[in-house]
Amino acid sequence: MTVSLPLVLVLGIVAWAATKFLGVRMWVAVVIALFGFWLSHTFLAPAIESGTRSGVEIVNGTHD
């Protein structure tokens, strides 16, 4: 069974849980999100995308 959720929703739930249960400050979650957007516009973006796709394939069990 495959469940399709928007990545923004999943990340939002993770950020909420981190602030609620782990005591992470909201400004830290915002800084991490902004750093992620900045990082996606650097030369590391292809490696990040490839790693993310591989991870999703492994979790979904769709890898070859």
Domain-by-domain residue ranges, the chain? 24-64
The token pair that represents 40 in the structure block: 């996606």
Check whether 22 has a pLDDT greater than 80: yes
Report, as an integer, the average pLDDT of 34-61. Answer: 85
**Which phi and psi angles does 24 have, rounded to 5°?**
-75, 135
In 3D space, the residue among 44, 64, 61 whose CA is nearest the CA of residue 3 turns out to be 61
Q: What is the pLDDT of residue 62?
A: 78
Q: Give start and end residues of each alpha helix (H) in the chain.
A: 7-21, 26-39, 45-60
Tokens 């292809």 belong to residue: 46
CA distance 57 to 60: 5
Task: Tell me the pLDDT of the chain averaged across its residues.
Answer: 84
**pTM (two decimals):** 0.53
Residue 50 has pLDDT above 70, yes or no: yes
